Chains A and B, each alone.
Chain A
Amino acid sequence: MPVLASFTCGLIFGAGLLISGMTDPQKVLGFLDLFGAWDATLAFVMAGAVAVTASGFAVARRRTAPTFSARFLWPDRNDIDAPLVGGAILFGIGWGLAGICPGPALVNLAGLSLPIVVFVIAMLAGMIGQNLFGKNLWRPRTMAPRAETASLPSRADG
């Protein structure tokens, strides 16, 4: 059941991205192009998404456990550290270059166009590269080993 629920959520999420127009990189770049012919649509997408998410989360906070699993895995970190800032800058540059972020990249994969396939392979390579090498760039060696940090719910705040 949790797997079916997750599939359904992915389906609804993908439908939302398609309907909102956010799978079209030109539309996203139109929002990011503040100094050109600015298209404010992305702000309305965010407003709709955040409003409904916040309402659902408010309901979840009053419950003791989710329907199909033992507990809510709320992210528990609130620190603004160097990897957060550096990672956000690198992501922003990549997003600005192509107009695609991870969700729309996967939805667009269904069309199997060459640029999207290239983007997704590169994105997966970047993620694997970060998994393999990225963490030790920032953490002193004496800190928690990787296996320990990987299982924390805080790992999943995005």
Chain B
Amino acid sequence: MHDFTPISGFAGGALIGLAAALLMLLTGRIAGVTGIVGGLLQPDTTDRGWRIAFILGLIAAPLIAALFGAPLPRPAMNASLVVIAIAGVLVGFGTRMGNGCTSGHGVCGFARLSGRSIAATFIFMTAAIATVAIARHVIGG
């Protein structure tokens, strides 16, 4: 599970990039999952169609892969359900407050060389690395 897989990583990353590039070229939108989902949850949003379609596309990907024999993603998670729920709230609240996540700030922001997004990416990476270090090596170790 912890094997280093640079080739499939780079290839998968290139596909993510292709999706982000196409979404901009075709619809003029930034492929930021937080912005897409968060906008859908706001009462005054008028452009719901493309947002719902993008999210359905994300969910459809593993379902289509399953038609060709791939297992459905049911990832092993070590954290308790309480910790997972806390993590979910932090991810949802934090990404909306900071206006972006790994896709919007990390991929699209870096590609635009946006100082704001590059700063956000370094900050959330650092916070995540610190959290894992504490959880695994201070508390867990």
Please list the residues of chain A having a beta carbon within 8 angstroms of any beta carbon in chain B. 2-27, 29-30, 32-37, 39-42, 44-57, 59-60, 63, 65-75, 77-80, 83-103, 105-116, 118-131, 134, 146-147, 150-151, 155-158
In angstroms, how far is the closest chain A Cβ from the Cβ of B76? 6
Residue from A15, A26, A77, A127 within 8 A of B15 (CB atoms): A15
Is A16 in contact with B112, judged by CB distance below 8 angstroms?
no
Contacts of B136 in A (CB 8 A): 33, 35-36
Is A96 in contact with B95, judged by CB distance below 8 angstroms?
no
Residue from B28, B55, B74 within 8 A of A111 (CB atoms): B74
Contacts of B49 in A (CB 8 A): 2-3, 6
The CA-CA distance from A6 to B95 in the complex, in Å, is: 21
The CA-CA distance from A57 to B117 in the complex, in Å, is: 16
**Restricting to B122-137, which residues have a CB under 8 Å from any CB of A?**
123-133, 135-137
Is B14 in contact with A48, judged by CB distance below 8 angstroms?
yes
Is B1 in contact with A19, judged by CB distance below 8 angstroms?
no
The winner among B14, B44, B115 for most chain A CB atoms within 10 A is B14
Q: Which residue of A lies closest to B120 (CB)?
A: A88
The CA-CA distance from A85 to B27 in the complex, in Å, is: 29
A–B Cβ pairs within 8 angstroms, 6 of them: A8-B57, A12-B18, A23-B75, A26-B2, A60-B21, A158-B100
Is A41 in contact with B4, judged by CB distance below 8 angstroms?
yes
Chain B interface secondary structure, helix, strand, loop or mixed? Answer: helix
Known: A92-B128, A94-B89. A68 touches B26 (CB 8 A): yes
Is B137 in contact with A36, judged by CB distance below 8 angstroms?
yes
Residue from A49, A84, A123 within 8 A of B119 (CB atoms): A84
Contacts of B133 in A (CB 8 A): 33-35
Known: A36-B136, A53-B20, A134-B96. A102 touches B101 (CB 8 A): yes
